């Protein structure tokens, strides 16, 4: 068991399972982007670990950028998205949005608005963890590492009020 702030967490996804999920996503992307140079757009802070691990497994050329959006306070989504760090010039690029987790889809919705305004050539969405029970939007999630139940998790980039991102495995709320 793990204690972070006032909450207890139990082991949920091992580092081996995470590595296997990332390899599966990378294999799909490598197949889909054989003759293209995708730009991976990592969503900070949570997706830093997934973005780094994923792009190391990309066999062709790629670019990496980051944006920072915030929607969580504690263990729940506020429903309001704050754009804290904008993106550079994405016009005409093939973008792969890299998320640590997709639950309600509010962050994805905001990112899609940004990508459309930037006039990207194409975009796809990759996530390490996906909560189908919580997802409320219609955007296709193209690359899913792990489908998980609608429980709060920490580790491998995911946090609870700033702590837990450094854990090499994922824990769920007890």
Question: Three-state SS string across 13-69, please?
Answer: ECHHHHHHHHHHHHHHHHHHCCCCCCEEEEEECCCHHHHHHHHHCCCCCCEEEEEEE
Helices 48-56 and 15-32, packing angle to 10 deg: 60
pLDDT digits (tens, 9 = 90+) for 7-63: 999 999 999 999 999 999 999 999 999 999 999 999 999 999 999 999 999 999 999
Does residue 94 lie within any of the structural domains? yes
**Nearest Cα to Cα of residue 97 among 39, 165, 34, 21:** 39
State yes or no: pLDDT of 161 exceeds 80.
yes
Catalytic choice (94, 103, 142, 161): 103
Does residue 111 lie within any of the structural domains? yes
Give how many domains the chain has, as a whole number.
1
Does residue 136 lie within any of the structural domains? yes
Does residue 123 lie within any of the structural domains? yes
pLDDT digits (tens, 9 = 90+) for 45-55: 999 999 999 99
Does residue 5 lie within any of the structural domains? no
Does residue 162 lie within any of the structural domains? no
Q: What is the pTM of this model?
A: 0.90
Q: What is the extent of the structural domain holding 135? A: 16-27+38-72+79-148
> Annotated catalytic, 6?
no
Report how far Cα 46 is from the mean position of its chain's Cα atoms: 7
Does residue 127 lie within any of the structural domains? yes
Does residue 167 lie within any of the structural domains? no
CATH number of the domain at 114, please. 3.40.50.2020
């Amino acid at each position: 068991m793990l204690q972070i702030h006032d909450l207890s967490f139990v082991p949920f996804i091992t580092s081996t399972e995470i590595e296997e999920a990332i390899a599966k996503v990378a294999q799909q992307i490598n197949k889909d982007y054989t003759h293209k140079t995708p730009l991976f757009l990592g969503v900070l802070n949570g997706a830093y670990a997934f973005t780094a691990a994923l792009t190391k497994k990309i066999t062709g050329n790629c670019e990496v950028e980051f944006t920072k959006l915030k929607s969580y306070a504690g263990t729940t989504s506020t429903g309001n998205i704050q754009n804290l760090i904008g993106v550079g010039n994405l016009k005409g690029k093939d973008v792969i949005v890299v998320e640590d987790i997709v639950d309600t889809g509010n962050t994805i919705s905001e990112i899609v608005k940004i990508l459309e305004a930037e006039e990207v050539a194409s975009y796809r969405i990759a996530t390490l963890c996906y909560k189908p029970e919580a997802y409320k939007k219609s955007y296709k999630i193209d690359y899913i590492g792990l489908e998980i139940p609608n429980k709060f998790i920490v580790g491998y980039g995911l946090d609870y009020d700033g702590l837990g991102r450094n854990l090499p495995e994922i824990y769920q709320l007890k």
